Amino acid sequence: MNALFGASVVEVEAVVAPIVHLLVHVYVVLDSYLLFYSNLQTRPSTLPTKHQELWYSWAMRKAQPIQLTDEQRAELEQLIRTGKAAARVQNRARILLLSQEGKSEAEIVAALHTSPATIYSVRRHFHKEGLQRALYDKPHFGRPPRITGDVQAKLAMLACSTPPKGRERWTLQLLADKMVELQYIDTISDQAVHYTLKKTNSNPG
C-alpha cells in the first residue's frame, strides 16, 4: 500500500509540476500586460523601460497622419534653412516634415537620431494644439524645476557620452535640449547646465 501510495505521489507530481509552471508563466505575462495597460493614460516615461518602446509604437499606430498645409511646410523649411532656432525646435520641425512624407517611426529615429518618445510628443502636440505647440514648449512660470541628484547624475553621464552625429563635442545648449528630449527634466537652460556641470566637475565631451 505504501509503495502504491508513493508511486501515486510521484505520478501526481509529474502531472502537476508542468501545470504549476504554466500557471506561473501565465500569471507573470498577465501581470505584465495589466501593468502596461493600466499605465496607458499616464506619462509614458513612468512605464517600465521594457514597455516604453511598445507603448510609443502602439500610440503612433493609433495616431492620425501628419498633414501639413503649404504654409506650414514652408514655415518649417524656412525655420530649418535659417538655422537660428534652438536645436530641439529644428529637430521637431524635421520630425513633422518627415512624418508628412509618410516616413515610419523607425525611419525617423534613424534619420534624426532621436527617440520614439520625442516623435510621439511632437505628433501629439501638433494634432491637439497645432503647429506652434508642436515646435515650442509652453512658457514655465514660477520657480524653475529643481535639479535633483538624479538629474545631475544623468546630465554628467550625458556630457561624458559621445556627442551627436556631426558634432565634435557637446555644447551647453545641445545638452539642455537633449535632457528635455529624454524627459529627464521638463525644462533646463544652458546656464543651468553650465552651473550643474561645474558643480559636479564634469566637462562636455
Q: How confident is the model at residue 75 (pLDDT cuts 50, 70, 90)?
A: very high
Q: How confident is the model at residue 66 (pLDDT cuts 50, 70, 90)?
A: confident
Identity of the residue numbered 81: R
117 with 80, same domain: the answer is: yes
Surface-to-core class of residue 122, CB atoms within 10 Å of its CB (0-12 exposed, 13-18 middle, 19+ buried)? buried
Surface-to-core class of residue 48, CB atoms within 10 Å of its CB (0-12 exposed, 13-18 middle, 19+ buried)? exposed
Residue with cell 554628467: 156
**Does 24 have pLDDT greater than 70?**
no
Residue 8, pLDDT score: 57
153 with 128, same domain: the answer is: no
17 with 42, same domain: the answer is: yes
Summarised one tens digit per residue, pLDDT across range 39-65 is 444 455 555 555 555 555 555 555 578
- C-alpha distances (whole Å) from 21 to each of 7, 12, 58, 136 are 22, 14, 30, 51
Residue 93, pLDDT score: 93
Percent of the chain with pLDDT over 70: 65
The pTM assigned to this predicted structure is 0.50
Grid cell in block for residue 81: 534653412
Among candidate residues 135, 163, 183, the one where a domain is terminated: 135
77 with 117, same domain: the answer is: yes
Q: How confident is the model at residue 86 (pLDDT cuts 50, 70, 90)?
A: confident
The string of DSSP letters for 103-157 reads --HHHHHHHHT--HHHHHHHHHHHHHH-HHHHHSPPP--SSPPP--HHHHHHHHH
The domain of 180 spans 149-200
Among candidate residues 37, 58, 79, the one where a domain is terminated: 58
Residue spans of alpha helices (H) in the chain:
2-38, 49-62, 70-82, 87-100, 105-112, 116-129, 131-135, 149-159, 172-181, 190-200
143 is a domain residue: no
Domain count across the chain: 3
141 is a domain residue: no
Maximum average pLDDT range among 12-21, 121-130, 142-151: 121-130
Q: What is the C-alpha to C-alpha distance for residues 205 and 199, in angstroms, rounded to an integer?
A: 16
74 with 131, same domain: the answer is: yes
